[in-house]
Structure 1
Amino acid sequence: MKINIEQSNTYSEVEITIKCNNIDEGLENLISSIRLYSSTISGKKGAKIYFLKPEDVFYFDTVDEKVFIYTSDCVYETNLKLYEIEERFIGSSIIRVSKSIVLNLIKIDYVSPLLNGRIEAVLQNGEKVIISRQYVPIFKNKLGL
């Protein structure tokens, strides 16, 4: 892989061009990371609104019809619905893994199979998330399992 970087004051924004023979799994992962890097998501904590980088988000969870954003050390509330989050991050490492959870795959430390065809994902911060049976095939496909 060859990386060319041109830096100049004449550029008003970052532009990334990928030239390749074919798109393999490694390149898909790189594109996913670039997509995550280029967007933000807002979350409320108390009276303040924070703009979070998706790569800092561990997962999104719905509790009592409210959606929360979980990072390594904080929990934020967002006005977005889970399906809106899912749509916003299509083609990235952020995917739905249950009816109430959208997970950032890059934050998984390891996974273990459970009874009834479910999978337990242990995240880098030690939290555990259950991938429901309905979403296991998508989850495995995304991880290349």
Structure 2
Amino acid sequence: MKIISNCRKFEALVSEHLVMWKELPIDIIEYGMDTLSSATAIYVSLDNIEELSQFFHESIRIPHNKKMIVAFKNNGRTTLLDFTSIYYIEAIGRDVHAYTENDGFQLKQRLYEFEPFPGYCRVNKSTIVNIRLVDSIIPYISGKLLLTLKDQQEIEVSRSYVKEFKNMITKG
């Protein structure tokens, strides 16, 4: 993705909101820029970046065979991580964290940005799990489920997300 703009704020917002689609062969051009693009282009104003982000989240899925690399912050350092190695992603207050087998990483992305990733499913208000790394599923109190991940971490699936989770695991 190429961002064409004279405004650093515009570039930063587009980069932040559309990080998962940075490999797409498109140009995002700030509305009003006097430029032509040889690629597929989307013209958007600063006020409509959230709307564009929502459109991307609802309409554009990441191919299942694509191994997206996501940047994470760990002790002030940025690390590149293959998203398939993430066991779960959790929001704690305003912070979002990803957990691998041996490490935890603070993210700059928002929790909802990871829902379109293949094999990931929201299981409660603050957690998304990698269903490929679920070791066992146990019926739990009040219609909930209790997941045990391959690293022995236990995560609760709330009642409002049980149906979505079951649909996700049955379709693979």
CA distance in 1, matches of 2:124, 2:107: 18
Equivalences for residues 100-111 of structure 1 within 5 A: 100-111=126-137
CA-to-aligned-CA distance 1:73-120 (integer Å, 9 cap, x gap):
000000111111214x1xx10111110001100010011000111100
Partner of 2:169: 143
Query: Helix, strand or coil for the counterpart of 2:124?
Result: coil
CA distance in 1, matches of 2:103, 2:152: 14
Which 4+ stretches in 1 moved above 6 angstroms?
none
Partner of 1:61: 90
- RMSD (CA atoms): 1.4
- Number of matched residues? 109
Give percent identity, aligned residues only. 25
Partner of 2:150: 124
For structure 1, the residue ranges without an aligned partner over 5 or more in a row are 1-30
- TM-score, with normalisation over the residues of structure 2? 0.61
For structure 2, the residue ranges without an aligned partner over 5 or more in a row are 1-62
Equivalences for residues 1-145 of structure 1 within 5 A: 32=64, 34-35=65-66, 37=67, 39-87=68-116, 89=117, 92-144=118-170
- TM-score, with normalisation over the residues of structure 1? 0.71
The Cα of 1:69 is off from its aligned counterpart by 0.5
CA-to-aligned-CA distance 1:25-68 (integer Å, 9 cap, x gap):
xxxxxx63x13x2x111111102111111110000001121000
Structure with bigger RCO (C-alpha 8 Å, 6+ apart): 1
